[in-house]
Amino acid sequence: MLARLLASLVNNLHVVEKLAESRPIRRAAQITAYAITKAQIAGRDASDRALRSQTLRQVRDEASRVPGDLGEISGRLKRVRDTFVNEVKSGWKDGSRQVKK
């Protein structure tokens, strides 16, 4: 019964227009648009950092080479791990500097 009442209210154009003109609904729409915009910007920044990432380049390079033996694979994985750890540390420092600002 409640679902039917809500459906009839949502399908009523006059009610929808009145709600759209109300201050709380307009403010909720503004906040939603702001959050979506901020998320898009953060996503673009993260993808740019990932594309510039030394680790990503190194993984691509290492994957393109054919390994000779197990020791060579181990050395490659160690280099990739070290690069990744260094990038995480530098990212952590950059993030803490931005929080302090």
Arithmetic mean of pLDDT, 32-46: 87
For the cut 80, the answer to whether the pLDDT of residue 72 exceeds it is no
Kindly state the DSSP code that residue 22 receives in the 8-state scheme.
Answer: S
Q: Decide if 62 contacts 80 (C-beta within 8 A).
A: yes
For the cut 80, the answer to whether the pLDDT of residue 1 exceeds it is yes
Tell me the range of 35-39, 40-44, 74-78, 88-92 where mean pLDDT is highest: 35-39
User: What is this structure's pTM?
Assistant: 0.44
Q: What pLDDT does 68 receive?
A: 67
Q: What pLDDT does 52 receive?
A: 75
User: Which band of pLDDT confidence, cut at 50, 70 and 90, is reported for residue 33?
Assistant: very high
Percent over 70 (pLDDT), the chain: 85
Measured distance CA(4)–CA(40) in Å, rounded: 37
Arithmetic mean of pLDDT, 72-95: 78
Measured distance CA(20)–CA(98) in Å, rounded: 38
